[in-house]
Amino acid sequence: MPRHLPGELRFGASTTTPYRPVGFHGKVSRHCPVDPKPDIVFNAIPAPIEHTNLPLGATIYAMIVYRMNRPAYSPPQFLLVGRPSGRQGSRGHPRFRAKSEPSGIGRMQMAVNSTVALVTGASRGAGRGIARALGAHGCTVYVTGRTLNPGDAEVPGTIHATALEVTEAGGNGIAVQCDHGDDQQVKALIDRIIEEQGRLDILINNACYQSHAISAPGQFWEKPLEIAEMMNVGLRSGFVASWYAAPHMVKQDKGLVLFTSSPGANHYCFGPCYGAQKAGVDKMAHDMGIDFADSGSHVAAASIWMGPLTTERLLEMMEAAPDKFGHLEGKLESTEYTGHVAWAMFNDPRMMERWNGKVVIGAEVGREYEIKDRGGNYPLSVRRTTDTPTPEFAAYKVK
């Protein structure tokens, strides 16, 4: 496997940055350390010279990466079949079928994309996968979290590793350390994005307090009181990020605010803290959707139920307690899948009509857009696997 020396400066088309048609998420070979701890990453989005009329200097890809000394990340294989997106031009043909192909210089073209996304809680887990997926569609993705260095958290993953993976996938990953329990840090984050990019198109509210104590055996009063932090980082934090982002999205008259959730909002799962946080973001998305619609803007809010995912934490739980979680073997949804679904929702000309104020199941929305997960299969809907319907909120309104 190619390795790059500390401080090495690489020009031209990089073997670590595959070119791809818009929306393509096939099998991609890339050399991406899991925890590279980059000191400096400078990325000018590349394109093969034969596919651009820009000067040579505009096609230069330069990256300085220090201490890249950890094992490579091998991305999963996807099959993505797209429907008309309503956004064409630089985003490619509205109808495409991209099967897995070997990557290589000149075989795929980098998507030129001005979409700016923020994925909160992206050091690991669902946020990490969602960020990677949006990067594969050419987005500039701000990834937030608190973990800077490997070993700082009980589960592996850092914001720097995720940001680099976004860039390697074809986007522009920007890591920002942010404690989403601190309103001023969230304000500074949104201000920075607007200052640097001039807009924010997609907000994925994924940050949530996580601890092994949440899934520990016992009744709620037998677990540490610290698990109530889910009401702060997980529920309140999503409102705060949306509160700061909403005025900018409304002003630009386009945006998507998406909360990550689960059927635990509607059935017992790990106790009242977990359930209340998931149910809370579902209702929050619904009510935000009403406010966005009443403003006359084309900004949508929705909550998306993910299935059991290939997260570091769940894989650890399955290994530690096979009698409790072993039935999930072979039935996990990839962490990237929700990111591809979010991209399709954002680019749907009927986004407001179809998704605003709704609680949706990612596997079902993905099937509507014909987005397949690894191995060319559709993920199982949690409606089927848990016999749990999404909530329906009354139309009555007091305002």
Catalytic residues: 274
Of residues 49, 24, 162, the one with CA closest to residue 102: 24
Q: Whole-angstrom Cα distance, residue 203 to residue 142?
A: 10
Q: Name the residue type at position 342.
A: A
CA dihedral 40, 312, 359, 326 (to 10 degrees): 170
Q: Whole-angstrom Cα distance, residue 387 to residue 384?
A: 5
Q: Whole-angstrom Cα distance, residue 136 to residue 32?
A: 14
Q: What DSSP assignment string belongs to 331-390?
A: -PBPTTHHHHHHHHHHH-TTHHHHHTTEEEEHHHHHHHTTEE-GGG-PPPPHHHHS--PP
Q: Which helix (H) or strand (E) holds 240?
A: helix 237-252
Q: Name the residue type at position 23.
A: G
Sheet holding 140-145, edge to edge: 172-177, 140-145, 116-119, 202-205, 255-261, 299-305, 358-361
The encoded tokens of residue 21 equal: 């048609």
CA angle 222/210/317 to nearest 5° reads 80
| Residue 348 near residue 86 (C-beta atoms within 8 A) | yes
Strand partners, 98: 80
Q: Which helix (H) or strand (E) holds 10?
A: strand 9-10
The distance in angstroms from the start CA to the end CA of the chain is 60
| Residue 112 near residue 172 (C-beta atoms within 8 A) | no
Q: Is 135 exposed, middle or buried (0-12, 13-18, 19+ CB in 10 A)?
A: buried
| Residue 287 near residue 246 (C-beta atoms within 8 A) | no
Q: Whole-angstrom Cα distance, residue 393 to residue 399?
A: 16
